[in-house]
Structure 1
Amino acid sequence: MKTVKIAGVPEHFNLPWHLCIEGGEFEQAGIDLQWTNIPEGTGKMCQMLRNGETDMAVILTEGIVKDIVGGNPSSIVQVYVESPLIWGIHVAAASNYKTITDLEHTKVAISRYGSGSHLMAYVNARNQNWNTEQLQFETVNTIDGAVEALTHGVADYFMWERFMTKPLVDKGVFRRVADCPTPWPCFVIAVRNTFLEENFQTVDLILDIINNTTVDFKDIPSIDRTLASKYHQKSEDIQEWLSLTKWSQKPLEENVLNKIQNQLFDLKIIDKKGTFATIVKAV
């Protein structure tokens, strides 16, 4: 049995992995796939890949591209979710901020530097024609930390996946003032280079198993009810999310990587661009 460590956020996008693990599909293939939930998100997973704490990660595209360009010895082996991530822009429900323009000179809560919540704050600022060099950040680690920071006025707004954050909106903790979709496929699968070189066939097998599940994921009977129950969502919200979400079974294409790197470079998030061969590995 080959042990493989994989990390991902505890969100509805990753239910296919849990179904495969619970169904024994990896085990039948001789793989002990050990999943770790990372509520801190992409910045933490980049660190784990660098430190060898995980072999693989299901990770936000912009975050891992930035980190590989910055020296993370890992590669993207596949796009996992092709559709954009819809980032909700949230404020404390009791705050005086009513529209996105009210947030221009305020402080944004981020899970950590290099995370999606950090990088997408730049994308949003560019969309609004704000001065990206004047953005102010408060590190909050998790969504619970964001609740604390926004409620007590330590930070003013927080960008997080819209549907996962909606229960907090429904409870009157947050108010959503706008959305900011990613201009690229949102999740990819990344692997440490040394692990990939030594376990190429195992990684290939893992991708085959997960792809067989994601290709028909929406057709699983009552999958909307399963998701709603597991992730504490309303059925109608899950149904909307499913209609907007498209999983992928394909590699990241060079023109898409170029588009991502060009935007990150223009936003001064990266100061150089990596080659396709150093960022993406075919499996």
Structure 2
Amino acid sequence: MKTVKIIGVPEHFNLPWHLAIEEGAFKERGIELIWTDIPEGTGKMCQMLSEQETDLAIILTEGIVKSITEGNQSKIIQEYIASPLLWGIHVAKKSKYNTISDLIGTKAAISRYGSGSHLMAYVLAKNEGWDLDKLDFEVINNLDGAVQALTDGVADYFMWEHFTTKPLVDKGIFRRVGDCPTPWPCFMLVGTQQFISEHQGTLNHILEIINLYTEEFKSIPSIDRTLANRYGQKLEDIQEWMAITKWSQQQLPITSLDNIQDTLLSLNLIGAKLPSKDLLF
């Protein structure tokens, strides 16, 4: 049995992996796939890939592209989610801020530097015409840290996936003042170069299995109810999320990769563009 380590956020996007593991699909191919939830998100996962603490990751596209340009010895194996991620822009319930434009010059809570919440703050600022040099950040590690920071007034706004934070909005802990979708496909399956080069056969088996599960995922009977129950979501929210979410079984298009690198370059978040062969498997 070949042991393979994989990491991802504890969110509804990753249920196909959990179903495949629970149903023994990988073990049937001689693979012990060990999943670890990383609530800190993309920045932490980039670090774990770089330090060889995992073999694979389901990770935000902009974060891993930035990390690879900075020397992370990993590659994008293929797209996992081909649709954009809808980032909710949140403030505390009692915040004096009511619109996105009110947030100019305020402090953003981010899980860590290089994370999606950090990079998307720049995308939002560019969309709004704010001075990128005046962005201010408070590192809060995870969603619980964001709740604390916004409630205590240590930070003013927090960007996180719209539907993951919806229960906090429903409970009156956060208010959502708007949304900011990523201008590219949002989640990638990424592997360390060492794992990819040394375990090609194992990787092929993993791809065959997960691509079958994602291709059939939306047609699973009552999958919306399963998602709602497992992730503490309202059924109507899950149904709305599923309607805008597309799983992929293909490689990230080079045109999308160019758009991501061009955007990160324009925001001074990367120093230079890399050729696609340095980023894509």
Provide TM-score, normalisation by structure 2: 0.99
- Match for residue 101 of structure 2? 101
SS in 2 for 1:216: helix
In structure 1, distance between residues paired with 2:133 and 2:24: 49
Aligned-residue offset at 1:164: 0.4
Aligned residue in 1 for 2:24: 24
Whichever residue aligns with residue 147 of structure 2, its letter is V
Q: What amino acid sits opposite 1:195 in the alignment?
A: F
Partner of 2:70: 70
Q: Which amino acid aligns with 2:161?
A: E
Deviation digits for residues 88-141 of structure 1 (CA, Å, limit 9, x no counterpart): 000001111000011001000000000000000000000000011110000000
Q: How does 1:13-92 map to 2 (within 5 A)?
A: 13-92=13-92
SS at match of 2:164: helix
- Give me the whole-angstrom Cα distance separating, in 2, the residues matched to 1:93 and 1:151: 8
Matches of 1:231 and 1:269, distance apart in 2: 33
CA apart distance, 1:254: 1.2
Question: Which of structure 1's runs of 4+ aligned residues deviate more than 4 A?
Answer: none
2:62 and 2:124 mapped to 1: Cα distance? 14
Please give the root-mean-square deviation of Cα atoms over the aligned residues, in Å.
0.4
Distance (Å, rounded) in 2 between the aligned partners of 1:207 and 1:164:
26
Distance 2:7 2:252 in 1: 20
User: Structure 1, residues 62-97: CA drift from partner, whole Å, max 9, x if none?
Assistant: 000000000000000100000000000000011110
Name the structure 1 match of 2:201.
201
1:243-254 maps to which residues of 2 (within 5 A)?
243-254=243-254
Q: Match of 1:231?
A: 231
Counterpart secondary structure, 1:164: coil
Cα displacement (A) at 1:271: 1.0
Equivalences, count: 281
Amino acid at match of 1:216: E
Between the aligned partners of 2:198 and 2:172, the Cα distance in structure 1 is 50
**Structure 1, gaps ≥5 residues long:** none
Identity of aligned residues (%): 63
Q: Which residue of 2 aligns with 1:157?
A: 157
Query: What is the alpha-carbon distance in structure 1 between the residues aligned to residue 27 and residue 174 of structure 2?
Result: 41
Structure 1 length-normalised TM: 0.99
Cα displacement (A) at 1:201: 1.2
Residues in 1 aligned to 2:267 and 2:252: alpha-carbon distance in whole angstroms: 22
Shift of 1:177: 0.1
Amino acid at match of 1:158: F
Separation in structure 2 between the aligned mates of residue 203 and residue 268 of structure 1, nearest angstrom: 34
Return the offset for 1:253: 1.5
1: CA distance, partners of 2:116 / 2:204 = 27
Partner secondary structure for residue 4 of structure 1: strand
Q: What is the distance in 2 between the residues matched to 1:159 and 1:212?
A: 32
Aligned to 1:138: 138
User: SS where residue 190 of structure 1 aligns?
Assistant: strand
One-letter amino acid of the structure 2 residue matched with residue 175 of structure 1? R
SS at match of 1:145: helix
